[in-house]
Amino acid sequence: MSSLYLSCDLLQSVIDAHGGREYWESIQSLAVEFEFSGAALANRGHPGPHDVKILVDTKSQKVTIEKFGPYYGSWSTERTEVARIGSQDPLDVRENPRAAFDSHTYESKWDAHNLIYFIGYAYWNYFNFPFHLQSSDIQIREVDGSTPENGEKWRTLEVVHSDGYPTHTKVQKFDFDARYRLRRMQYSVDVMKQGPPVWHTCYNHTVSGKYLYPTLRVVNVTVPDISFFSPFVLNHIKVEPQHS
């Protein structure tokens, strides 16, 4: 790491609050279920709500999609696979799926591979949190000063990903309360092409095994002089760690 991004006591406290590194190393994957909805899905051509059932790998960047609305398949950094549930057709494969967004605009509709790529990397980051922040491909620092929020003082990590890292955007911020629970993420979404900044808020935390996670995630954006709305909502989240 560069001299700007040194070992971070805040990240260590967050990891401890989420079950600790030793416990995390015993987990091979996370079985996750929730409902996914929001106006942005309709805007991209995939209106919800969608029932979601996935298996998130904790040892490699991979998500198996057992059910996402009408689809099943898988995501990895260099490949997406997708088919319709109930179809006899084989899985359709796209290599280098990120490149398919290069010609997109903010108004572009998504095909099934675009959708699987987006939800794949997003869910992998959300559910491997915070342990993936210790990757050598990520630099971190605690932002100076706390953020007043509803009578609380939240502390903030700034995260800088390496070029090409599968995530929403290179620089993101994560806000934590006094119990080191993730309360808010701040980022933009590169594959949305010039989308507005996002405030992604986490609610109603619970624990499965020793793994701490929010059961509700609400993404909010403000479009100046137009509206404030929630393009994505993950509700009724249930996570079951799968051990070796």
Half-sphere exposure of 215 (CA within 13 A, CB side): 8
- Write down the pLDDT at residue 170: 96
pLDDT of 71-92, one tens digit each?
999 999 999 999 999 998 999 9
Tokens standing for residue 43: 């805007």
Residue carrying the six token digits 């319709």: 84
pLDDT digits (tens, 9 = 90+) for 19-46: 999 999 999 999 999 999 988 888 888 9
Topology classification of domain 9-243: outer membrane lipoprotein receptor (LolB), chain A (2.50.20)
- The pLDDT, as a whole number, for residue 1 is 35
Domains of the chain, residue spans: 9-243
Give the chain's mean pLDDT: 91
Q: Is 74 exposed, middle or buried (0-12, 13-18, 19+ CB in 10 A)?
A: buried
How confident is the model over 161-176, as pLDDT tens digits? 999 999 999 999 999 9
Task: Quote the pLDDT of residue 2.
Answer: 35
| Statement: residue 4 has pLDDT above 50 | no
Contacts 24+ apart (CB under 8 A), 92-95: none
What are the structure tokens assigned to 102, written together? 């290069």
CA angle 51, 84, 74 (to 5 degrees): 75
**What's CA 33's distance to the chain center, in Å?**
14
CA distance linking residue 145 with residue 163, whole number of Å: 28
> Which residues does 223 contact at the CB level (< 8 Å), separation at least 6?
196, 229
Lowest model confidence (mean pLDDT) among 72-76, 150-154, 231-235: 150-154
Amino acid, res. 41:
L
Whole-number Å distance between alpha carbons of 198 and 34: 21
pLDDT at 104 over 70: yes
- The first and second tokens of residue 222, run together, are 């403000």
Phi and psi at residue 75, to the nearest 5°: -125, 140
